[in-house]
Amino acid sequence: MIDQKIIDKLQKLLALSASDNENEATLAMKKAEELMREHNLSVADVAIDGSGAHVGSAEVDGSTKTSQVWELDLGSSIARTFNGRAIRKRNSNGWSFTFVAGKTDLTIIVDLFERLRSTIKRMSQAYVNSARDFTRVHGKTLHSSYRLGIVRTIHERLACLKQNTAPTDNRNVCGMTGTELMVIKDKAVDQRVSRLFPRVKTIPSRVNSSVDGNAYQQGRTDGNHVSLHRSVNGGSSAPIGIGR
């Protein structure tokens, strides 16, 4: 049985290893590694409670007074891709998402959600404007159907991105594997969600039965042309990656 004082000390060192101060972080990680080797412990053993992972939260208002399925699905999909959570809640403006994720991942999630949401609304308006001359379907149904289609395709693309960047058991320069880091990060995110929303429940999205097939399929097709490139930190055109 490992002395709890050793565990506490290691957790403090791991927390310091995530410091923005490079020298402090390197020294703390070196001491943590020495102590873990001495007691035959891994990072996952020591930091299973989430210590050492910098987790934050950010609130983003919904685009309409009442939440819409396509917007809920978009936010949830993006959050899951970057190992975060998206919690919907009511507020004075109608509703909002609270995104919870690691420090770097959170920046990417919020940026990508706001940018894709804006892009989808713009593309949806362009589609409806062009389709009105060829259909009698109500504009609201066209918007909803097209957006559901485009978000479904984006969801599939994000799922592929996450699968292709799954963590490995290769150790980084600090001696930690991607798998160990993910255990720490996921646990920390779950703890943050539990503190912020102790009564949170998972509620499946309800798709409106009034879906126009043509609009939905066009959205599915157009979803392949939506850019998933990073725009944060100076608008870099480099493809986004899963933060580790």
The pLDDT tens digits of the residues spanning 80-103 come to 988 899 999 988 889 999 999 877
Q: Work out the pLDDT band at 17, boundaries 50, 70, 90.
A: low
Q: Give per-residue pLDDT as tens, 140-184.
A: 999 999 999 999 999 999 988 887 766 666 665 445 556 666 666
Is pLDDT above 80 for 16?
Answer: no
Q: Which tokens in the block code for residue 143?
A: 């918007």
**Contact 18/53 with Cβ under 8 angstroms?**
yes
Amino acid letter, 30: K
The reported pLDDT for the residue numbered 26 is 77
How many CB atoms are located within 10 Å of the residue 21 CB? Answer: 10
What are the extents of the domains in the chain?
A: 4-46, 55-235
